[in-house]
Chain A
Amino acid sequence: MTWKKKTKKLASAVLLTPMLFLAACGGQTDTEMSESDIENYPERDIRGVIQWGEGGATDNISRTLAPLAEEELGGTLVMENREGASGATGAQYVYDQPADGYTLLFGAENPNGLYQVLGISERDYLSDFQPVSIIGQSYAGIVVNKDSEFDTLEELADYASDNPGDITMGTSGEGGLPYVASAMLSAELGTEFNQVPYDGDGPLATALLSEEIDATVLAVSAAQEYVDSGDFKMLAVINDERLESVPDAPALTEAYPEFEKYLPWGPFQGVFAHKDTPDAIIDKLTEAFAAAQEDEQFQTTLENLGVQPLNIHGEEAIEYLEQNRSTSTWMLYDAGATDTSPEEFDIPRVDEE
């Protein structure tokens, strides 16, 4: 064989092999589920898609719940992270998979109307998914550095409305917790912050420690340690009553009762399936995940993570999602954070309900 021939042969072999892999990876078939398929569910591995990155609150909760749900389901859950675009990538991915219950979305509050009004993605929990379980919710707190001149939320809010844009508020990007909370404040109190986005709770805490930013909004669990150590002052928890974990931080409604209508509001985590998933499978999943969450160790884990357990499903979960969605989206619109009215997506106002 001549060199040239050999090369040609080799070249085709080298290029063909990955092509075959491409073909193997790309092949997907949509098949209708027969009754026996539904009956025997789960017959193969279930993929759990976590819409946020490794090490985040959603990741921690999902990965600890997964082995417990496996036991209840009698199947295997393979967890993977698909982060990006505020979680829209993961949500879109699950939406694009067959509605057979073999791909589940482990998500946070983000796909709940926020993508639509902020123009990130079309996906939405209520129109594209069915809730399997809402696992729990957490609370957010407004924090400043210990050396900050502000000791109360009133002082901060007054200053921020008298000196628009003077206070730097760290956010975690559009649609994130501090972003929505800032919108809430400016909708009711007319505050205006100089918003600087960071990559999540860790970088935000760092920036606040070094006073690179003046204030931010963190999940209470993420801020609590710094409050206990005296590094941060928590000016308010975004809730209608004080929390046991940070008893010294006043509830938002103590100073400003007008926020009552938005509450309860905060980040939450849940498990979701494609909206066209057969009811029998949803029922199986719901039952399994509900039972899994009753595990005592898991309850302790939630407590450690600063999450209030909800473990709700079905109608109750849908009502919860509706309330949360109305609050977040209208708040953003009222504060001028987005020009897209929630009305375009038929999201009712909170106080109209």
Chain B
Amino acid sequence: MDVLQQFLTPFVNIELLLFVAAGTLAGIFVGAIPGLSVTMAVALLLSLTYSWDLLPALALMLGIYYGGVFGGSRAAILVNMPGSPSSVATSFDGYPLSQRGEARMALTLTTIFSFLGGLVGVAVLATAAPLVSSIAIQFGQRDYFLLAMLGLLLIGSLSQGSMAKGMFSAGAGIILGLVGMDTIGGGSRFTFGSLQLMNGIDFVVAILGLFGMSEILYQLKTLNEKGQTVTLKKMAFPPLRFLLGFLPLSMRVSVMGVLIGALPGAGGEIASLLSYDHARRTTKNPKRSFGKGAYEGVIAPEAGNNSAIGGALIPMLTLGIPGDAVTAIFIGALFIHGLQPGPMLMEQSGDLFWVMVGSSVLANIFLLIFGLLVVGIFVRVVTIPKQILLPIIAVITVIGAYALNNSMTDVYWMLGFGFVGFFMKVYQFSVAPLVLGLILGPLIDSSFRRAYMTAQEPGAFLIGFVNNPISLLLTLAFCFTLFSQTKTYQKMMASFKKKQKVFRK
């Protein structure tokens, strides 16, 4: 049993075990601090581990990867500042939860289901990698366009009240996403001749401003009203039956997460957004409505983005194609250490594959252990008096924005977004659609144009939507989701239910 032996290597080799553990723990903190990204941390390790053996280096990097993606949701839940784009969706219900004093519950639930989602990702990686990668490869630009459009339909769920305001907000996000050098034509958009603007707007900067800075300004406005401190509710560890209730949902979004993660052009951020959307549509009678602190609303995106890691490793290990920015660095590390990542990696260094799978399982186990252990520490953040917490967050947003690219431009953008977000909150515009537009806009833009350029003529372009199986499926899903939000559909469903009742009588 060679495979089993390789799989168990990280469990029995104390050095690898420690590296995975240290990586996971460090990753949780890197992810939790806005402005520090997993990509940055893993890139740093590339120099640091240059003279090491390959396996310990990879073990450490994998640990950081899993810990970091998970850590991003800590700040999203506690202070409404998602540490990374892939934890934006977690803040939609996570922050309301912690405002209700249920931070402990939110942190515990997300830890457990991140762990489960991560395991599903690894399981798919271990059992079906070649199959998944052959599907992922067939995903064309047209399909990315459809996928992003599906994500955009989330506006309906995020608008909170006024659909028109939601559309406005998303539209503004899409336009802001256009700023910078056009990746297709090479022209400059809205840059006013400034090279700083050529880079476009990093969405982490937007998140720091819209979520972090604007919240601080908003809180200042309402500080006069008394009784704002959050009291933590006492909570026993959730009973197994309660947890099992979320199992079907978490499994569905995990499978979705792996598939989206495996796509070379989409990653954790899309996976978590679509998972949130899925939870919202399929949870029939949530105990609490979404956006107000629904448990499903934190479980789904966290299971989704952690399972996406296993997905991202699939094209990297089977084809040498990065599934996201972090796996791109992994590929670099393999090259540097003398391996040839590509379609023959599995044949030539199959042992590496199973050690990676083993380390991933191990990282998930450590994630569960550390995740639960640090809940007690993290949760205190909520009880810090505002007078102390707000200045700290203000500093973190500035440092975070600066650290991203070591650039002051990003800090100005962050402050700008802070003011915009503040006024949006005052006039009851939801800021979430804006971030959604900012994340999805560039993907929609480039994939639509690439698809059109490849097809070369309108006829061929349109036919492509129905005569390719993946495109057809996505087109149908898009049409159905759109239709299901109309009044006609709701009327139809209502009359259908009535008929059923009559029939039963």
Chain A interface residues toward B at CB < 8 A: 3-4, 6-7, 10-11, 13-15, 17-18, 21-22, 25-26, 53-56, 59-60, 63-64, 66-67, 79-86, 88-89, 92, 118, 120-121, 165, 168, 173-175, 194, 196-199, 202-203, 205-206, 209-210, 212-213, 221, 224-226, 228-229, 231, 297, 300-301, 304-305
Contacts and interface: CB of A to CB of B under 8 A. Distances in A.
Contacts of B223: 3, 6-7, 10
B62 to A, nearest CB: 15
B402 interface: yes
Contacts of B391: 13-14, 17
Interface in B337-386: 337-345, 386
24 contacts: A6-B223, A11-B220, A14-B220, A15-B394, A53-B328, A54-B42, A60-B332, A64-B336, A66-B47, A79-B44, A84-B181, A120-B186, A121-B195, A168-B456, A194-B453, A197-B186, A206-B264, A209-B319, A212-B454, A229-B344, A301-B335, A304-B336, A304-B340, A305-B336
A17 to B, nearest CB: 5
Interface in B400-428: 402, 405-408, 411, 415
A231 B343 contact: yes
Given A17-B394, A212-B141, A297-B51, A54 B184 contact: no
Contact of A7 (B220, B330, B407): B220
Given A66-B47, A301-B336, A14 B390 contact: yes
B338 A89 contact: no
Contacts of A231: 343
**Contact residues on B (Cβ < 8 Å of other chain), bracket:** 35 or more
Nearest to A68: B50
Given A10-B387, A13-B391, A206-B264, A55 B322 contact: yes
Nearest to A7: B223
Contacts of B453: 168, 194, 196
A228 B186 CA distance: 33
Contacts, number: 190
Contacts of B398: 18, 21-22
B343 A21 contact: no
Interface string B450-478: 10011010000000000000000000000
B390 A55 contact: no
A84 B336 contact: no
B200 interface: yes
B138 interface: yes
Contacts of B50: 63-64, 67
Contacts of B264: 202-203, 206
A142 B342 CA distance: 18
Given A81-B43, A88-B195, A229 B224 contact: no
A299 B187 CA distance: 39
Given A18-B398, A66-B47, A173-B186, 11 more contacts: A11-B220, A54-B40, A59-B46, A80-B406, A83-B199, A84-B180, A121-B195, A199-B183, A212-B140, A226-B320, A304-B335
A173 B183 contact: yes
A66 B315 CA distance: 29
B47 A89 contact: no
B342 A84 contact: no
B282 to A, nearest CB: 31
Contacts of B408: 22, 25-26
A89 B140 contact: no
A121 B188 CA distance: 11
B172 interface: no
A11 B219 CA distance: 10
Given A88-B195, A229-B342, A55 B328 contact: yes
Contacts of A79: 44, 47
B396 to A, nearest CB: 9
A304 B264 CA distance: 24
A174 B186 contact: yes
Contacts of B141: 212
A203 B322 CA distance: 8
B18 interface: no
B494 to A, nearest CB: 44
Interface string B241-254: 00000000000000
Contacts of A198: 450
Contacts of B137: 206, 209-210
B188 to A, nearest CB: 9
A175 B226 CA distance: 60
B181 A55 contact: no
B130 interface: no
B47 A64 contact: yes
A168 B453 CA distance: 9
Given A60-B335, A196-B454, A225 B394 contact: no
A60 B325 CA distance: 13
Contacts of A14: 216, 220, 390-391, 394
B399 interface: yes
A217 B237 CA distance: 57
Nearest 4 interchain pairs by C-beta = A225-B342, A55-B328, A174-B186, A84-B199
Contacts of A81: 43
B198 interface: yes
